[in-house]
Every structure is written in C-alpha cells, then in structure tokens.
Amino acid sequence: MGKTAKITNLAMLLTFAVVIHFIENLVPLPIPVPGAKLGLANVIVLLTLLVYGLRSGLVVAVGKSFLGSIFTGGFLGFGFWLSISAALISCLIMASFIPISRQGYITVISVSIMGAVFHNLTQLGMASVIMENFTLFQGYFPLLVLVALPTGFLTGLAAGYLEGLVRRNLGLLGA
C-alpha cells in the first residue's frame, strides 16, 4: 500500500471515530454510572491498531479525543482531559496485548476488554486527580470494571470482524 493510500485510509478511520464519538455523546446511557459510554468509537481505534499498528492507532485515538472535544464543545474541559488520557493509555495497553493475540494466546476480544478496563480506570484516576478526591475509586472502581466487560467484549467482537473485512478489501491479508 502506498503512502497516499495509507494516509487516506487513516483519515477515513479518524473521521469515522470522530463521527461515532460525536453521536455517542448525544445519546445518554440508561445506566447509573455518570458519564459512562459504550465506547463505540474505540472499535475504530482497535481496528486501526490491528491493521496499521501503534503509531496510527495513537493518531486515531488522540485525534478522536481532540477533534471530538472540539465538535462537542468541551475542548480543554474536564471531559477532554479524561478522554485524551484514557485514549492514550488504553491504546498503549491494547497495542501491548496485540502481539500476544497474534500468537493465539488470547483473542482480540481479550485485547479489547483490557483496553476498556484501562480506559475506565484511567478516566477514574484522572477524575480523582483533577477533583482531588481519591475516594472516587471506592465507589466507582467496581462499577467501571463491570461496565468495561460488556463494552470491551462488543468492541473486540466488532473490531475483529471488521479487521477481516478491511484486510480483504484493502489487499492487506499478509500485513
């Protein structure tokens, strides 16, 4: 794949992630955890990691948080710092587990669940630091881990399925 084609594909992936992030912010979830989201845009981040690697995954993860916060009106606000820190950490965690997945020891779903857990824990940690209230961990830690399990499962399922489609359609079967 040429450099121009790769940049074009990454721009499309970033666009998909930002649009999904924006739409997801419009729809509140009926669960008792303030600010919890399904994390559907993370399907695109994980897909990018699987197909193009860490550098491209970080571009999409950070770009999603950066542009998403601009479009939702929260740039440099409380939510921005939670989003950008969690995007970075979860992306790095998932990237570190992908080689283990490629060896067949774990699945893409496991990679995604790890990313979701660390995404939620990073947001909780950042919120605790910003608010100077570390008792947040006592109440929210178990809830956020419970939320991360099904969302990580669904994200991994979707990203694994999409990876096969993308590789077939872009001729990246050997990549």
Residue 175: the pLDDT is 45
**Whether pTM exceeds 0.85:** yes
Give the residue ranges of the chain where pLDDT is below 50.
Answer: 173-175
* The predicted structure's pLDDT at residue 79: 82
Asked if the structure places residue 49 within a domain, the reply is yes
The whole domain housing 139 covers 3-170
Total of domains in the chain: 1
Q: How far apart are CA 84 and CA 43, in angstroms?
A: 16
pLDDT at 33: 65
CA angle 166, 170, 175 (to 5 degrees): 85
| Range list of β-strands (E), the chain | none
Q: Is residue 109 part of a domain?
A: yes
The pLDDT assigned to 147 comes to: 85
pLDDT at 32: 63
Tell me what pLDDT residue 34 has. 63
Residue 127 in any domain: the answer is: yes
Q: Would residue 29 count as lying in a domain? A: yes
CATH number at residue 12: 1.10.1760.20
Residue 175 lies in a domain: no
C-alpha distances (whole Å) from 46 to each of 112, 120, 137, 146 are 7, 16, 26, 20
